[in-house]
Structure 1
Amino acid sequence: MRDSTHETELPALWLRARSPDPSQRDAVTGQRLMNPHLLPDDLYLLGARFEKDMLHLAFSDGFAGSFDPQELLRGSVLSTGLPATRAWRSDLQRKPLYVWADLQNDEVLYQALKDFIELGFLLVNETPTQADSILHIAERFGIVRTTNFGDFFEVYSRPESNDLAYRPVALGPHTDNPYRTPVPGIQILQCLQNETSGGFSTLVDSLAVAEQVRLEDPEGFALLSRIPVRFEYRDATTHLVSVKPMVELDGEGHMTGVHYSPRLDDIPLMSQEDTVRYHRARKRLGTLFEDPQYELRFRLNAGEMMMFDNNRVLHGRTSFNPAEGHRQLQGCYVDRDGPRSHYLVLQRKFG
C-alpha cells in the first residue's frame, strides 16, 4: 500500500483476516465465521491479481477470495470514525447550546452530538420538568445507567445526607463516582427549580488543563497517568472501591479524561521522594482546575440542563443558601457509548 510519503507492506495475516467472503463472514452481521487468531503464523500469499477493480488473493492455507482495495485502505487506519476532541477554556466562543424541541429533529441532534463528542458537554434549554422527565430526555442520547442512587436522583439540600452533593456547600471540580468500575460515562443534570442567588454550576475541560500540566511537567504528568489511586464510597447499604490512575489514557496512549475527586481519593504508600513528586503534579492539576481561565460558570434555571462527559469534563457548584428558597436538580447517568453510536448511525444519513 502506498500513500504520498511512504509504502507499507500488507502482511498476509492482516489481509486474510479482512476477507469479506460469505464463507468467512456472516452477510447480515458482518461478524467473522472463522477465527483469525488460529491462522498459521507462517501464512503467506500464493498469488495476487487485479480484476474489475477488485483484488484477488490466494493464501497458503488454501483460501482464495476477492478484496475491495478501498475497504483495505479504510481498514488500514485505526479510527472510530468520530470527530476529534477540541480542548477548550473559559473563552470558548460558541457554546453548544440547544433547545429541547429542536433536538427532536435528527439533523439538529446530529449536530448536537458532534458538538458533544468534540467539546464533551451540551447545554439544553426548555426541557420538560415533570417528575421523571429526565429519563425521557436521557433516552434521546443513550441508555440510562442505574446505580445505587436509582435510575435518577434528586439534588437538593438534605441534612445528614449520604453525599455532600445533597448539602448546600460548594463543590469543587470533580468526577462523579470514580469509585465505580466503570465510572459513569455521561451525566445529565437538569434544573427543576432554583430560587437561590448562589448554586452556580461550573464545568472545566480536563484535556485543556492536563495538556498544560504535561507541558510544564512531563514527568509529573506521566506519574498521574501511571500511579494507581484508590477511590472509595460507602454508606449503610453500599460499599464501592476502585483503583485506577488519576489521568485516563486510551489504548493508543492518548488522554481521554481524569478520575478526580479530592473528597474520595487516596494515593498509595510510596517513598517520600515519589510522594512529593506525585503531590506536586497533582497539586498543579488541582490548582488549574480551579483557575477561572479554564472554568465555565453559569446559572441553571428551571427547564435548563447540562450533559457532560463525566470522564473528561469536571463539574462543580458554588455554595447556596437554602433559606433563600428551594434549589432542586435531577440527575442521571448515561453510558458513554450511547451518543457515539447515535452519531455514527446519523452520519450515514447526514454525514
Structure 2
Amino acid sequence: MLVKQIVRRAFDATLLVESQILEISSVRGMSLAQQRGMLERFDAHGFVILRCLDLSDSYRDLLDLGRYFGNPAPHPRADDQGIVGINAFRYTAGFLGSTPAEHLMHTDGAFRDAPEKIITLQCVTPAATGGMTLLASAQAAYDHVARVFPGKVEVLSRADALTVTRTSQSSTQAVFTRCGEWRGIKFRMRDGAAEVTPHTDAQEAFEELCRFFQASENRLQFRLEAGDILIADNTAVVHGRTSFPPHEPRNMRRLNFDATGPACARLVFGFLPSVSSEAGPEAWLDR
C-alpha cells in the first residue's frame, strides 16, 4: 500500500491565509472530514485556523482540542484548566500578553527546557485597530541564515546558543534543535520583557535571524475574528502580535498542548531545511 508522503512547506507574506482557514460549527461538532482537513492544513505549513461559527460555549470548545492534542501545558498565569487570558485587562510584570504593546516574534515556552509543541490562540474579542497576529516560517528563516552565512548556520544549533530568562524562569538551549535531518526552533527576541543572550559565536547569526523575522515580506499578518482558533506547531512557526490601543477590549485565550493526543501520531513537527548547512549558498539539498 502506498503511504502518502507529507512535505511541510515554508511560507512568507504571499501565502493566502484563507487557504489555512477551516470553517466549522464547533470543535466538539467536527466531522471526520473536518478533522482530516484540520490536520492536513497543520501539516502543510505548520498552522491552521478553525473558524468556529457556534460561539455558545467557546471556552469549552477550546478545551475540546485536548481530545486531539493531549494535555494542557503549564503556564504561570493559567487558570485551573490551563487557559491563559491574553488581554490588557490587568498588567502582570514580565508578561507582554498582559499589555497592549507589540509582542515581537517568538516561540512559546522559550524560558523552559521542554517547551510545548502545539500552541492555540482563540479570539474572544478582536481589536478594531491593531492587535494583528503575525506568523513566520522557521524553515524559511533557517534557509535564509544558511545562505547569508554559508557553513555557519549550525552555530545556532549548539546547546548553549541562546539563553532566555524571565523572572524566575531561565533556559539555555539551541535555537535550532536537530533530530536527524529535521529541525525545530526555540526562539525569543529582545522584547523588553525577557533577557535574551546569544552565545558570542552565535551573535551574528542570531541578529540576522531577528532581522529576518521583523521584515514584513517574511511574515503573515492577519486579524483573528471572534470564534477563530489558531493552532500552530511551536517547533516550526514563530508568532507575534502588533500593538493595539489600550482602550481596545481585545481578548484572547491561549491553551497550549504537549502533543500526546491521538491525532499527534500522524502530525508533522518541525521542518526540513532546503539549504545545506555545510556548504555554500548554492548548495541546495536534494529533496
TM-score (norm 2): 0.79
* 1:329 to 2:252 alignment: yes
- Equivalent residue for 2:147? 215
* Preserved contact between residue 206 and residue 289 of structure 1 (Cα < 8 Å): no
Which of 319, 327, 350 is the matching residue for 2:243?
319
CA distance in 2 between counterparts of 1:227 and 1:267 reads 11
Where structure 2 has 5 or more consecutive residues not aligned to the other structure, the ranges are: 269-287
* Letter of the structure 2 residue corresponding to residue 164 of structure 1: L
* 1:246 to 2:178 alignment: no
- Equivalent residue for 1:310? 234
- Equivalent residue for 2:188? 260
CA distance in 2 between counterparts of 1:343 and 1:242 reads 27
* Letter of the structure 2 residue corresponding to residue 156 of structure 1: N
- Equivalent residue for 1:156? 87
CA distance in 2 between counterparts of 1:218 and 1:82 reads 29
CA distance in 1 between counterparts of 2:63 and 2:220 reads 27
1:146: how far off?
3.7
- Equivalent residue for 1:45? none
SS at match of 2:202: helix
> C-alpha offsets along residues 177-219 of structure 1, whole Å, 9 cap, x if unaligned?
2111310111111111124311111111111111111122133
* Letter of the structure 2 residue corresponding to residue 243 of structure 1: T
CA distance in 2 between counterparts of 1:85 and 1:327 reads 32
> C-alpha offsets along residues 265-290 of structure 1, whole Å, 9 cap, x if unaligned?
2234xxxxxx2x52221111111111
Give the stretch that moved more between structures: 200-209 or 107-116.
107-116
- Equivalent residue for 1:191? 123
CA RMSD of superposed structures (Å): 2.6
CA distance in 2 between counterparts of 1:207 and 1:331 reads 24
Relative distance call for 1:86 and 1:232 in structure 2 (3 A) is same
- Equivalent residue for 1:125? 51
| Larger relative helix fraction | 1
CA distance in 2 between counterparts of 1:248 and 1:109 reads 29
Where structure 1 has 5 or more consecutive residues not aligned to the other structure, the ranges are: 1-69, 269-274, 345-351
* Letter of the structure 1 residue corresponding to residue 84 of structure 2: F
SS at match of 2:43: helix
Which of 144, 168, 173 is the matching residue for 2:105?
173
- Equivalent residue for 1:113? 39
TM-score (norm 1): 0.66
Relative distance call for 1:233 and 1:114 in structure 2 (3 A) is same
SS at match of 2:240: strand
CA distance in 2 between counterparts of 1:158 and 1:187 reads 22
Report how many aligned residue pairs link the two structures.
254
* 1:89 to 2:12 alignment: yes
1:135: how far off?
3.7
SS at match of 2:125: strand
1:343: how far off?
5.6
Give the stretch that moved more between structures: 139-148 or 109-118.
139-148
* Letter of the structure 2 residue corresponding to residue 111 of structure 1: G
- Equivalent residue for 1:145? 72
SS at match of 2:42: helix
